[in-house]
């Protein structure tokens, strides 16, 4: 049902983009808009992951430089039946994470140092399972195309202001059409982009809980991330708000906004949905996870990536999941 909803929203956004071209320049303008959208989507398809990682100064790590974090991702990828993605760390105090890449074979996951330092290994596993769910569902591609179309629609809306007055003969709706293209269309595109983002987050939460095996690990992580995100400024995200929809929790400081204008679902609603998964299955711990319920219960414990690794005794010191 979520895939059908996403397809309908993407179709609406594409039609909206071509409609603006029609309002600005008639049928010729509509074809130009279509070709422009195709070109921008093609560019995003091949380059968006590199651009996003560069914008947030992400540094690639491996089993040597970030052993525990890397093994968590490797174990989760194996459980999900996915190729091993590239793994990145972002030096940022705000706990957060995102996934990017055009397909599972060209995917990357990134977590901030704030997330890796503040969360338990189980919670890190829940977060990274959520990001791998985005990769498996190809949400990284869907959201890249959505963001590209939304940006192009806003650009055409501004373009209509300059072109509409001079080419009324090509505009079948006259000045009213220009106003609609300039104001209503970018606003509608923004709402559609946010609706798609919220839909994909719920799907990734559910699939991520299935991958890691414990819905409450992700629920506990979401509560911690949301509590810290509103108190910590993510400078790079504030400079590049178009990438906000990629993160597991909204990284922008304007957290308390109406849900209609949010790129993410309400965190409490997401936590309740994850808890209901535990209720339906009749299993799982009764409280937020702080230690494994049994040996080798999840992908962060047991033998991962060829290394024997048992559960750590409660209270024992640890270096943290990023090494």
Q: Please tell me the predicted confidence (pLDDT) of residue 263.
A: 60
Residue that wins the pLDDT comparison between 55 and 27: 55
Asked if residue 285 has pLDDT above 90, the reply is: no
The residues, ordered by sequence, that sit 6+ positions from 290 with a Cβ below 8 Å of its Cβ are 120, 122
Q: Please tell me the predicted confidence (pLDDT) of residue 239.
A: 82
User: Which residue in the block uniquely carries the two structure tokens 């600005």?
Assistant: 24
Instruction: Report helix, strand and coil shares of the chain as percent, to nearest 5.
Output: 65, 5, 30
Structure tokens at 278: 């535990």
- Give the pLDDT band (50/70/90) at residue 23: low
pLDDT tens string 224-237: 999 988 788 888 88
- Give the pLDDT band (50/70/90) at residue 244: confident
pLDDT tens string 2-19: 566 656 666 776 677 667
Mean residue pLDDT of the chain comes to 74
Residue range 178-198: average pLDDT? 66
Structure tokens at 20: 């603006």
Q: Where are the domains of the chain?
A: 2-281
- Give the pLDDT band (50/70/90) at residue 124: very high
CA atoms of 25 and 168, how far apart (whole Å):
8
pLDDT tens string 126-166: 999 999 999 998 887 777 767 666 666 666 666 655 655 44
CA atoms of 57 and 50, how far apart (whole Å):
10
Asked if residue 284 has pLDDT above 80, the reply is: no
Which residues are identified as catalytic? 131
Residue that wins the pLDDT comparison between 245 and 320: 245
Residue that wins the pLDDT comparison between 86 and 182: 86
- Give the pLDDT band (50/70/90) at residue 29: low
- In angstroms, what CA-CA distances link 106 with 56, 86, 301? 18, 8, 26
The model's pTM is 0.70
- Give the pLDDT band (50/70/90) at residue 52: confident
CA atoms of 106 and 109, how far apart (whole Å):
11
CA atoms of 267 and 255, how far apart (whole Å):
11
How wide is the angle at C-alpha 71 spanned by C-alphas 118 and 144, nearest 5°? 75
Asked if residue 257 has pLDDT above 60, the reply is: no
Asked if residue 41 has pLDDT above 90, the reply is: no
> Between 215-229 and 121-136, two packed helices, what is the crossing angle to 10 degrees?
100
């Amino acid at each position: 049902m979520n895939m059908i909803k996403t397809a309908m929203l993407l179709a609406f956004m594409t039609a909206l983009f071509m409609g603006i071209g029609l309002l600005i320049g008639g049928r010729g303008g509509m074809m130009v808009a279509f070709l422009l959208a195709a070109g921008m989507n093609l560019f995003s398809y091949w380059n968006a992951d590199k651009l996003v990682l560069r914008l947030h100064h992400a540094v690639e790590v491996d089993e040597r430089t970030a052993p525990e974090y890397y093994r968590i991702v490797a174990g989760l990828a194996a459980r999900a039946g996915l190729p091993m993605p590239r793994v990145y760390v972002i030096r940022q105090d705000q706990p957060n994470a995102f996934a990017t890449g055009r397909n599972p074979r060209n995917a990357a996951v990134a977590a901030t140092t704030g997330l890796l330092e503040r969360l338990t290994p189980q919670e890190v596993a829940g977060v990274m399972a959520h990001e791998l769910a985005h990769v498996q569902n190809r949400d990284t591609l869907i959201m890249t195309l959505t963001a590209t179309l939304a940006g192009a629609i806003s650009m055409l809306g501004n373009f209509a202001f300059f072109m509409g007055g001079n080419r009324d003969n090509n505009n079948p709706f006259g000045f009213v059409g220009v106003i609609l293209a300039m104001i209503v269309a970018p606003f509608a595109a923004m709402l559609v982009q946010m609706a798609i983002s919220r839909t994909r987050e719920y799907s990734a939460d559910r699939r991520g809980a299935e991958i890691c095996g414990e819905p409450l690990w992700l629920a506990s992580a979401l509560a911690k991330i949301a509590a810290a995100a509103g108190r910590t400024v993510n400078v790079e995200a504030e400079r590049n708000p178009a990438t906000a929809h990629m993160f597991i929790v909204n990284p922008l400081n304007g957290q308390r906004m109406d849900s209609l204008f949010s790129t993410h679902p309400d965190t409490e609603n997401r936590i309740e949905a994850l808890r209901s998964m535990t209720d339906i299955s009749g299993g799982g711990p009764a409280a937020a996870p702080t230690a494994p319920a049994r040996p080798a219960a999840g992908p962060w414990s047991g033998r991962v990536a060829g290394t024997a690794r048992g559960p750590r005794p409660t209270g024992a010191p640890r270096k943290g999941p990023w090494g």
